[in-house]
Amino acid sequence: MHDHIPVYTETFAPNQEIVFHAKLREWLGQYWNLKDTETLHIQEIGCDDNSCPVFETLVIATEDPNLDLEAAVSASHTHTNTQLNTETQGKIINKHNSTNTRVLKLGKAKHLLTKQDIYFSVEKQKIK
């Protein structure tokens, strides 16, 4: 048995450059409607077993500067194995605050994300 654990966590202020990926903020704006006023919390999840290929990037966008990131990430990780659309994830996280907070899960390491990854993840997580 092994665990999937956070290997990277960082918070980016509105309009702050994302140093590991020059286009990520632009693509999130284009496909996920990221606002100029939203703070991004980015967490990369990996595995403590080198033979396990699991890598996931979790992006949380919020306008709440006082977001309890631990609670938001914990709520999202509780449902890692469940297919959740963005609205459902937002409702889970919004139990911890009253602002519009969204989550986007991407199945790749943060620096390997492509425009297609963003697009398809957003489409997959939409309400049908």
Residue predicted with more confidence, 43 or 75: 43
Packing angle of the helix pair 24-32, 115-124 (nearest 10 deg): 30
pTM: 0.76
Query: How do residues 82-95 score in pLDDT, each as one tens digit?
Result: 344 444 444 444 44
Distance CA 38, CA 35 (A): 5
pLDDT of residue 84: 41
**Which of 34, 54, 24, 14 lies closest to 118 in space, CA to CA?**
24
Look up tokens 């996280």; give the residue: 93
| Positive/negative CA dihedral, 75, 117, 22, 88 | negative
